[in-house]
Structure 1
Amino acid sequence: MRILFNIIFSAILIVGLVGFWALFLNLWKPKKKWPAWVGYIIIIGAWFAAIRYYILNQVDLYGTMYYPLMNLFRTESYGFLFGLFLAIPVFIVLGLLYWAVNKIWSKTPEENRTGRRAFFRTAATVVPLTTIGGSSYAAYVGQHEIEVTHESFGYTNLPPGLKDYKIVQLSDIHVGPSIDLDDLDEILKLALVEKPNRVVITGDLIDKLAWLPQVCERLTTFAKQIPDGVDFILGNHEYHHDVNKVLEELKHNTPMNILVNSNIQIMGGKQPVYIAGVAYDNDREKEKREAMIDKALSGIPDYAFVILLAHHPEFFEEAIERKIPLTLSGHTHGGQIVFMGMPLVPTGTPYTKGRYVEEQSVCYVNNGTGHWFPIRINCPREITVITFFDGVA
């Protein structure tokens, strides 16, 4: 699956880069195209080499005087690439318009076409400057903006121990090329400011395993400051890398509760409270989800209050069927690019961001506390602070 994704991504990237420059030259119409192609290939090649150097050597570069500049270069490279792709459909429209104008006024003398040519040359310059500039700004803001969201959940007959109980949800941190150890430190610091009783991490914690020891150290220090501890579940990115290594390191080198299709009781009494966690390994088949959630709920009495941690919000369907009061999810990153409340990026699920209520169940989908792709519009990174109260929200 990962190899297939890389092949498809590489093919789209190559076609996009070649298509952009071909369309640009079609509008600019230089006397000789080959020098423009040679220069473009050299620039793109150097850019790719620099990005590859950063990704391969990020851990060694971290902490050096060059790292902040390289980190900014990495962020803005996403903006450059995204803006370049945004320019392509505009170039296609301009190219068709240029062709139509020349077709209609084909008998116009060559010396009278200079104004027309100048207009399309100007457009060919302004369009990518606008799209790349806008997307570079979106990448910078998306990388640095993080929002602490406060959500209250009310239930009739709430277990007494949950009244005013505070849980902080972190999700999709993606420690790696886009979110480094400094970003992780900021996230954990912001979480501590909220003084939660408990913290849950709903998958996709890390993408660069070379930083796993440092991540474990930070999470250990962090977990010791959380009264009721930290719970963690697996997301698909743990499976993309080395899930066994991640599990081994987190189990042996942090005090976190690692829930792999399992549960823990966090409160007793007449209506005990459990946290159940399901893993997500990219398999979204209904039968597979049913088996995972049944295993995660095994041993929990029917009268218990259950909080389900599920990286992919599609598990909310099973939660509804089992009348689970609250499901906390992530995975979608909120769509990242949102206009008029609707994500422009397909997420493959009706549960994209925020709160969803179905029958007796509620699901909250976190925007992602981090990301692997920094461009965000109207969808900042999120730390969710959840508080319970007795009553109906």
Structure 2
Amino acid sequence: MKWVGGLVGLGVVACTYGYAWERTALQIERVSLSLPRLPNSFADCKLVQFSDVHLGHFFKPEQLQGVLDLIQNEQPDLICFTGDIVDLETQSFSAAIPMLAKLEAPLGKFAVLGNHDYRAGQQHAIRQGWAAAGFAVLDNRHVALGKNGDSLYIAGIDDALVGVPDLPKALAGIPEGASVILLAHEPDFAEEAARYPVDLQLSGHSHGGQVRLPLVGHVLTPKLATKYVKGLYHAGDSQMPVYVNRGLGTTILPVRFLCRPELTVFTLHQ
């Protein structure tokens, strides 16, 4: 039975590592992405995506400040948050609003809500908090970004699990042939988005699996994050790019294993 003790010991070591180190070992992923319909004026646009902070007992506002410093150091043109700023309570978000308000991006700051933002039961307060921080909440709507007479459209949907997502409404009024970036918390929504004229979907929700095993990959992912789990994919007949950010925080268990938290820095080009 020595092997049983060995497995238990290995599990303890892995959990300790996952909690004490990897859970906070942020990794910056740099992605160069081609969007053929991107207007000339937006070539080399730098977009920073962060997601799934899950502010609460295991992710404090002071920890978030370090991430925001890294975001600002990138000198982004555009900042996008793809859902789940809180886990189960909103007090920590209130403390983080002044920090988020200091972020600067000349083309704007945008956010969508995730399922945990609803689970906290204060989605309206979260929307108000994002607005106070200078983020436009894209709940089934879009914003046109202008530069040198060209336009790039940022659209977003309400949470696909517990909200009321309406992609046609979010895209209504966007000119035919325009370049559109969609924020959608749940990555598997890409199966729907790929049927529309969307150039890129940015998502979170999966945490990349949060716990991954060698040769196996992710052990478990939530609903609507089973097909697209982490990194870059191409969805549907249109081969629409969808990028899944691994998130910053954790939920259920405060551990990560072979799945470090992520900040994504995109450089967009034609």
Common fold by TM > 0.5: yes
* Partner residue, 1:344: 219
Distance change (3 Å), C-alpha of 1:341 and 1:186: farther
Q: How does 1:74-85 map to 2 (within 5 A)?
A: none
- For the aligned residues, what is the CA RMSD? 2.1
SS of 1:272's equivalent?
A: strand
2:190–2:242 Cα contact (<8 Å) kept: yes
Q: How does 1:19-34 map to 2 (within 5 A)?
A: none
2:60 is equivalent to residue 180 of structure 1: yes
18, 26, 33: which is aligned to 1:146?
Answer: 26
2:69 is equivalent to residue 189 of structure 1: yes
Q: Deviations over 1:63-109 (max 9, x none)?
A: xxxxxxxxxxxxxxxxxxxxxxxxxxxxxxxxxxxxxxxxxxxxxxx
Structure whose residues are more often helix by fraction: 1
Counterpart Cα distance in 1 of 2:109 and 2:37? 26
173, 181, 191: which is aligned to 1:299?
Answer: 173
2:259 is equivalent to residue 379 of structure 1: yes
Counterpart residue type for residue 332 of structure 1: S
Q: Deviations over 1:154-201 (max 9, x none)?
A: 133531122000000000011111111121011101111211111101
The answer to which structure, 1 or 2, has the higher relative contact order (CA under 8 A, 6+ apart) is 2
SS of 2:161's equivalent?
A: coil
Counterpart residue type for residue 80 of structure 2: V
1:271–1:303 Cα contact (<8 Å) kept: no
SS of 1:174's equivalent?
A: coil
What's the offset of the Cα at 1:304? 1.1
2:226 is equivalent to residue 365 of structure 1: no
User: Larger C-alpha radius of gyration, 1 or 2?
Assistant: 1
* Partner residue, 2:190: 316
Mind listing any 5+ residue stretches in structure 2 that lack a counterpart? none
Counterpart residue type for residue 110 of structure 2: D
Aligned residues: 262
SS of 1:380's equivalent?
A: coil
Give the TM-score taking structure 1 as reference length.
Answer: 0.62
* Partner residue, 1:109: none
Q: How does 1:29-40 map to 2 (within 5 A)?
A: none
2:182–2:198 Cα contact (<8 Å) kept: yes
Give the TM-score taking structure 2 as reference length.
Answer: 0.89
SS of 1:318's equivalent?
A: helix
Counterpart Cα distance in 1 of 2:77 and 2:39? 15
Counterpart Cα distance in 2 of 1:341 and 1:141? 22
85, 99, 102: which is aligned to 1:205?
Answer: 85
Distance change (3 Å), C-alpha of 1:347 and 1:302: same
Q: Deviations over 1:323-345 (max 9, x none)?
A: 31100000000111223372122
Distance change (3 Å), C-alpha of 1:157 and 1:328: closer
1:142–1:374 Cα contact (<8 Å) kept: no
Counterpart Cα distance in 2 of 1:318 and 1:269? 32
Distance change (3 Å), C-alpha of 1:135 and 1:265: same
Q: How does 1:1-393 map to 2 (within 5 A)?
A: 120=1, 125-207=5-87, 208-222=89-103, 225-241=104-120, 242-251=122-131, 253-267=132-146, 272-280=151-159, 282-283=161-162, 289=165, 292-338=166-212, 339-340=214-215, 342-348=217-223, 349-358=226-235, 359-372=238-251, 373-390=253-270
What's the offset of the Cα at 1:202? 0.6
1:135–1:375 Cα contact (<8 Å) kept: yes
What's the offset of the Cα at 1:250? 2.6
SS of 1:189's equivalent?
A: helix
What's the offset of the Cα at 1:248? 2.4
Mind listing any 5+ residue stretches in structure 1 that lack a counterpart? 1-119
What's the offset of the Cα at 1:266? 0.7
Counterpart Cα distance in 2 of 1:308 and 1:279? 11
What's the offset of the Cα at 1:124? 6.0
Counterpart Cα distance in 1 of 2:66 and 2:160? 28
Counterpart Cα distance in 1 of 2:221 and 2:204? 15
SS of 1:238's equivalent?
A: helix
Counterpart residue type for residue 366 of structure 1: N
SS of 1:302's equivalent?
A: coil
2:41–2:150 Cα contact (<8 Å) kept: no
What's the offset of the Cα at 1:347? 3.9
SS of 1:321's equivalent?
A: coil
What's the offset of the Cα at 1:370? 2.0
